[in-house]
């Protein structure tokens, strides 16, 4: 990940790439979204073939040129949404399997423009992914998915905002995220982009050499969740 720093530097720039504070955790046997609540209204399931979570991670510090910016994508999303035209009655749950993150796909990097123009070697990509899934970061062996569920939904027309409970490596945080919603027959499409601090979800951005080489706390999160009638 950092040129010339060898395998040890692969821990530096990745989504949630800071090493979090140590957490005691309980293993989870399976990755599955919670069952939807028994409420009136249309029920939809997340369509992984049409959905995507994309996270852009940026280098920082006086020695930032020794590193790379990174794009991490997950298209194996699962879950459900319930919406019958009233925002306050809407709810949803999304699970993001940690093992299905893809680091620095060449096509995706091209789509993100000049900040991601540099090619990344395959061994750097695989090393970054291994570190992401390790006990020091996402702890995928104990917590095989990032879980997102709605606490409240507000909005009118196409512009919405949701308060979310987000669980990363056993640490639950509350976020408020804006999104646009397109509704058509048998289909919901929620999309948006927002800045997320790693520290807001319980992670500590990596810093080395007294801060000369570090990862920005802020990441850019882009998403498109498509839900269809069962």
pLDDT in tens, 27-74: 444 455 566 654 456 899 999 999 999 999 886 544 445 567 889 999
Contact call for residues 213 and 2 (beta carbons, < 8 A): yes
Q: Could you write out the DSSP letters of every residue in 204-227?
A: ---EEGGGTEEE-SEEEEEEEEEE
Q: Considering the chain, what is the average pLDDT of its residues?
A: 80
Split at pLDDT 50, 70, 90, the class of 21 is very low
Contacts of 126-130 with C-beta under 8 Å, sequence gap 24+, read 127/1, 127/7, 127/10, 128/1, 128/10, 128/13, 128/14, 128/17, 128/70, 128/103, 128/104, 129/14, 129/101, 129/103, 130/10
Split at pLDDT 50, 70, 90, the class of 209 is low
- The two three-digit tokens of residue 200, written as one number: 């807001």
Range with the lowest mean pLDDT among 105-119, 150-164, 193-207? 193-207
Contact call for residues 66 and 97 (beta carbons, < 8 A): no
Split at pLDDT 50, 70, 90, the class of 208 is low
Split at pLDDT 50, 70, 90, the class of 137 is confident
Split at pLDDT 50, 70, 90, the class of 139 is confident
Task: Kindly tell me if the per-residue pLDDT of 107 is higher than 70.
Answer: yes
| Average pLDDT, integer, range 15-26 | 36
Q: Which of 176, 147, 154, 155 is nearest to 164 (CA)?
A: 176
Question: What was the pLDDT predicted at 60?
Answer: 53
CATH topology of domain 7-19+35-228: Lipocalin (2.40.128)
Question: What was the pLDDT predicted at 36?
Answer: 61
pTM over 0.85, yes/no: no
Range with the lowest mean pLDDT among 44-48, 57-61, 142-146, 180-184? 57-61
| Average pLDDT, integer, range 179-197 | 95
Q: List C-alpha distances in Å: 134 to 94, 98, 148, 182.
A: 22, 10, 20, 37
Question: What was the pLDDT predicted at 69?
Answer: 87
| Average pLDDT, integer, range 87-98 | 95
Split at pLDDT 50, 70, 90, the class of 158 is confident
Task: Kindly tell me if the per-residue pLDDT of 211 is higher than 90.
Answer: no
In whole angstroms, give the CA distance from residue 149 to residue 123: 34
- Give me the residue spans of the domains in the chain: 7-19+35-228
């Amino acid at each position: 990940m950092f040129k010339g720093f060898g395998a040890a530097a692969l821990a530096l720039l990745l989504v949630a790439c800071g090493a979090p504070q140590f957490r005691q955790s309980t293993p989870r046997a399976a990755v599955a979204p919670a069952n939807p609540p028994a409420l009136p209204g249309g029920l939809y399931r997340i369509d992984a073939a049409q959905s995507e979570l994309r996270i852009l991670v940026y280098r920082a510090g006086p020695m930032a040129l020794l590193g790379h910016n990174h794009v991490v994508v997950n298209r194996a999303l699962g879950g459900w949404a319930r919406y019958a035209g009233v925002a306050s009655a809407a709810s949803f749950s999304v699970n993001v399997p940690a093992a299905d993150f893809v680091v620095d796909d060449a096509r995706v990097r091209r789509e993100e423009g000049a900040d991601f123009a540099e090619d990344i070697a395959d061994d750097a990509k695989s090393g970054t992914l291994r570190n992401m899934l390790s006990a020091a970061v996402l702890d995928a062996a104990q917590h095989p998915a990032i879980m997102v569920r709605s606490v409240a939904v507000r909005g009118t027309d196409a512009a919405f905002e949701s308060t979310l409970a987000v669980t990363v490596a056993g640490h639950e945080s509350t976020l408020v995220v804006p999104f646009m919603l397109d509704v058509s027959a048998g289909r919901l499409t929620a999309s948006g982009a927002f800045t997320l601090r790693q520290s807001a979800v319980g992670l500590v951005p990596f810093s080395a050499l007294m801060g000369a080489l570090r990862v920005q706390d802020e990441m850019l999160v882009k998403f498109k969740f498509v839900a269809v009638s069962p």
